[in-house]
């Protein structure tokens, strides 16, 4: 093809391209002037970006609910978020997928790092991987608590807007409706729900349903006060609306709660991580110590090092669980255990297992049975007594089996180290050179051949080994051949190997560990009870606020106050519920019985005021000191929260730093000091004998 034809061809292509561009521009200009533009805009308004994060989370949710392991967490998380995202399926799915995705993104790199760091120790790798699976629960709980805290902060603005709307409309339901029009806020969904309750045909029944699913007790109080005001009317107290004063009281309680949660989160935000971190440094510390101080290799690679590793792992796990329990900031987290069929219930349904478990459960009606039931109530546990004993027995059996397995593993570890340890005729304080290490390994390999012949033969004597040494070419041809010395060394190795087997006291130890594990769930309940007792004063002060809101509302009596206290109680729920059930049989007697069941003095004073209100004086007179000393109680509440946080912080730091202290003291400093001094003493003794 000539150059002239090629130039014409290129010019023709350029001209054709220019014609197409001009035609497109003219066509687009006409289309923009027609109805096509309006139709296109309408389509764009209804189209969704297929690559948006919202669509991505919706698709991920569908995937998560089908995955065998993830779907359990997705269902558990969904039940908690359904309460927050009221009647909003789209938001519930989005938030569920978002939290699970965040947990997976954090967990996967952590699992990979664990495999990389502990690839030479399969036991620790397995324990860590199982342990990290439980961390998903923590990440999920933290994410839901964050959402719950955000709702609490939104409520402050919500109540402020309610005040303005109530001044304008002077109607409770209308004020709530107008304030709930902002769809971007999560709290608006709760406002809509409360509005629907107030205008329903049976608001009292709908309100009881809402009490079961409200995200926090402050919304329960707001819904209840709004209902009572709508039902009985508002009134002026000291020239101000009683309804608005009650909202102000709830707002003050919320402010104290937000400050308390923020301080607890600040104190505990790093303690959970600090309690976990030591297990990630076990292998790096071991490698560093062995590479820099060769005399510690026998300790780190043998049974003593492995035992300390296991103890640190167990201590870390216990510390992590206790820190989680201690951090509980009182936020409303719905217990989903009763909403699903837990593994304990499935296991207990099997006839054989049911008979075995029933053998350990105290007989119903006995003192021990009542004691366990009371402990479950005091700890606010959702477990049934049957499930508790399934947990205890399962943990005991697993602990016994794992303990026996670990004892066997430690024996094998000791034998393997004897077979693999470089053999020298002197104590090594520094490290071996490559040449010396190669020679020592050759001696070890020669010793291993003789050990294999006599392994398991407990009646082997030094003479038997000496005969075998004299037959071995490697020893007889080596310089400085000493049959007695070599036989002594191999005999000592053989004695250690033949002594590494499962012994009776190890079986006994496994049973002791199983007994400790059997008691573990009960000790955890006792710990929860102690932590809840720290918050008794805080709950009583909440009761005082509730009574302060109710005492000036018309037609409110002691029974209604008790029902409200029962609804919002946590620590004192059992005695209050008992009093409510017995109230019809005799108000004074029921309150007297509750006073006997309660030992906290401030709660007893509230009960005595209710007794006075039953027979002698009006409710407002019985509790008049709550109103007159409101400022004092507020300051006292702040000071009580400060003391509670300081006490929890002190206990949390002791528990959280325990694994770190044990790691450096028990796993690093002690071996270096003890083994170093022992090796130096042995070396000096050898040198003295040589002189």
For 106-138, the pLDDT digits (tens) are 778 878 887 777 777 676 777 677 677 767 767
| CB within 8 Å of 235: residues ≥ 6 apart | 242, 552, 554
Q: What is the pLDDT of residue 340?
A: 52
Q: What is the pLDDT of residue 334?
A: 41
Q: What is the pLDDT of residue 125?
A: 76
Question: Per residue in 307-326, pLDDT tens?
Answer: 888 888 888 888 888 887 77
Higher-confidence residue: 519 or 421?
519
Asked if pLDDT for residue 337 goes beyond 50, the answer is no
Question: Per residue in 430-458, pLDDT tens?
Answer: 556 667 667 777 777 777 777 877 787 77
Q: What is the pLDDT of residue 36?
A: 47
Q: Band of the pLDDT at 628, cuts 50, 70, 90? A: low
Q: Check residue 338 and report its DSSP letter.
A: G
Q: Band of the pLDDT at 336, cuts 50, 70, 90? A: very low
Q: What is the pLDDT of residue 653?
A: 86
d(CA 133, CA 245): 48
Higher-confidence residue: 154 or 133?
154
Question: Per residue in 461-471, pLDDT tens?
Answer: 778 777 777 77
Closest C-alpha to 325, from 81, 147, 138: 138
Long-range contacts of 207-211 (CB under 8 A, 24+ apart): 211/567
Q: What is the pLDDT of residue 321?
A: 81
CA-derived radius of gyration, the chain? 36
Q: What is the pLDDT of residue 307?
A: 84
Q: How much is the average pLDDT of 191-210?
A: 87
Q: How much is the average pLDDT of 559-581?
A: 85
Q: How much is the average pLDDT of 343-366?
A: 86
d(CA 447, CA 496): 14
d(CA 96, CA 485): 70
Q: Which helix (H) or strand (E) holds 236?
A: strand 236-237
| CB within 8 Å of 200: residues ≥ 6 apart | 206
Q: Band of the pLDDT at 180, cuts 50, 70, 90? A: confident
Closest C-alpha to 460, from 411, 496, 426, 503: 496
Cβ proximity of 312 and 279 under 8 Å: yes
Q: How much is the average pLDDT of 525-537?
A: 78
Higher-confidence residue: 332 or 546?
546
Q: What is the pLDDT of residue 511?
A: 92
Question: Per residue in 394-414, pLDDT tens?
Answer: 999 999 998 898 888 888 888
Q: Could you tell me the two tokens for 62?
A: 């569908």
Asked if pLDDT for residue 142 goes beyond 80, the answer is no
Closest C-alpha to 147, from 226, 63, 216, 194: 216
Q: What is the pLDDT of residue 48?
A: 47
What is the pTM (predicted TM-score) of this model?
Answer: 0.69
């Amino acid at each position: 093809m000539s150059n002239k034809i090629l130039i014409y061809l290129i010019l023709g292509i350029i001209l054709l391209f220019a014609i197409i561009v001009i035609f497109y521009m003219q066509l687009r200009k006409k289309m923009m002037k027609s109805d096509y533009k309006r139709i296109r805009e309408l389509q764009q308004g209804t189209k969704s970006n297929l690559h948006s994060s919202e669509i991505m989370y919706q698709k991920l949710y569908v995937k998560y609910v089908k995955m065998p392991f993830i779907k359990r967490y997705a269902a558990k998380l969904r039940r908690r978020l359904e309460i927050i995202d009221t009647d909003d399926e789209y938001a519930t799915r989005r938030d569920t997928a978002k939290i699970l995705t965040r947990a997976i993104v954090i967990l996967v790199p952590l699992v990979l790092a664990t495999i990389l760091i502990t690839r030479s120790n399969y036991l620790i790798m397995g324990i860590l991987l199982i342990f990290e699976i439980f961390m998903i629960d923590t990440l999920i709980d933290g994410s839901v608590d964050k959402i719950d805290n955000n709702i609490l902060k939104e409520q402050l603005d919500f109540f402020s807007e309610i005040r303005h709307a109530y001044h304008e409309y002077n109607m409770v339901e209308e004020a709530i409706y107008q304030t709930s029009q902002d769809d971007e806020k999560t709290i608006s969904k709760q406002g809509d729900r409360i509005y629907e309750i107030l205008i329903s045909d049976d608001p009292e029944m709908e309100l009881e349903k809402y009490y079961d699913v409200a995200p926090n007790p402050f919304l329960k109080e707001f819904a209840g006060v709004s209902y009572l005001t709508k039902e009985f009317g508002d009134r002026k107290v000291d020239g101000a609306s009683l309804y608005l004063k009650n909202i102000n009281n709830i707002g003050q309680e919320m402010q104290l709660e937000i400050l308390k949660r923020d301080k607890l989160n600040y104190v505990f935000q790093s303690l959970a991580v600090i309690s976990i971190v030591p297990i990630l440094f076990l292998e790096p510390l071991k490698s560093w110590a062995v590479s820099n101080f060769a005399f510690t290799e026998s300790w780190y690679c043998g049974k003593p090092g492995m035992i300390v590793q296991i103890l640190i792992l167990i201590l870390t796990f216990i510390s992590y669980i206790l820190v989680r329990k201690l951090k509980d900031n009182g936020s409303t987290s719905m217990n989903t255990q009763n909403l699903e069929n837990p593994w304990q219930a499935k296991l207990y349904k099997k006839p054989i297992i049911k008979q075995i478990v029933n053998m350990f459960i105290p007989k119903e009606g006995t003192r021990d049975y009542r004691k366990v039931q009371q402990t479950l109530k005091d700890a606010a546990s959702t477990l049934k007594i049957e499930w508790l004993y399934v947990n205890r027995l399962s943990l005991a059996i697993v602990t016994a089996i794992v303990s026996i397995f670990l004892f066997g593993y430690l024996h094998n570890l000791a034998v393997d180290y004897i077979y693999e340890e470089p053999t020298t005729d002197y104590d090594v304080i520094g490290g071996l050179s490559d040449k010396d290490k190669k020679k020592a390994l050759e001696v070890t390999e020669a010793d291993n051949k003789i050990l294999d012949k006599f392994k398991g033969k407990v009646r082997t004597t030094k003479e038997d080994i000496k005969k075998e040494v004299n037959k071995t070419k490697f020893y007889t041809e080596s310089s400085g051949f000493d049959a007695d010395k070599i036989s002594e060394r191999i005999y000592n190795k053989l004695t250690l190997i033949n002594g590494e087997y499962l012994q009776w006291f190890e079986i006994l130890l496994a049973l002791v560990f199983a007994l400790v594990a059997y008691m573990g769930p009960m000790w955890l309940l006792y710990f929860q009870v102690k932590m809840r007792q720290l918050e008794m004063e805080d709950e009583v002060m909440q009761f005082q606020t509730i009574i302060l809101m109710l005492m000036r509302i018309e037609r409110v009596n002691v029974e209604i106050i008790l029902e409200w206290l029962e609804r919002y109680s946590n620590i004192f729920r059992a005695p209050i519920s008992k009093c409510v059930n017995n109230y019809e049989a005799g108000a004074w007697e029921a309150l007297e019985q509750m006073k006997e069941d309660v030992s906290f003095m401030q709660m007893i004073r509230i009960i005595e005021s209710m007794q006075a209100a039953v027979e002698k004086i009006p409710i407002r007179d019985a509790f008049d000191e709550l109103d007159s000393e409101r400022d004092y109680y507020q300051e006292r509440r702040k000071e009580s929260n400060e003391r509670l946080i300081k006490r929890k912080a002190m206990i949390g730091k002791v528990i959280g730093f325990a694994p770190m202290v044990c790691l450096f003291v028990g796993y690093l400093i002690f071996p270096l000091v003890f083994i170093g001094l022992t090796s130096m003493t042995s070396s000096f003794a050898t040198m003295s004998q040589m002189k």
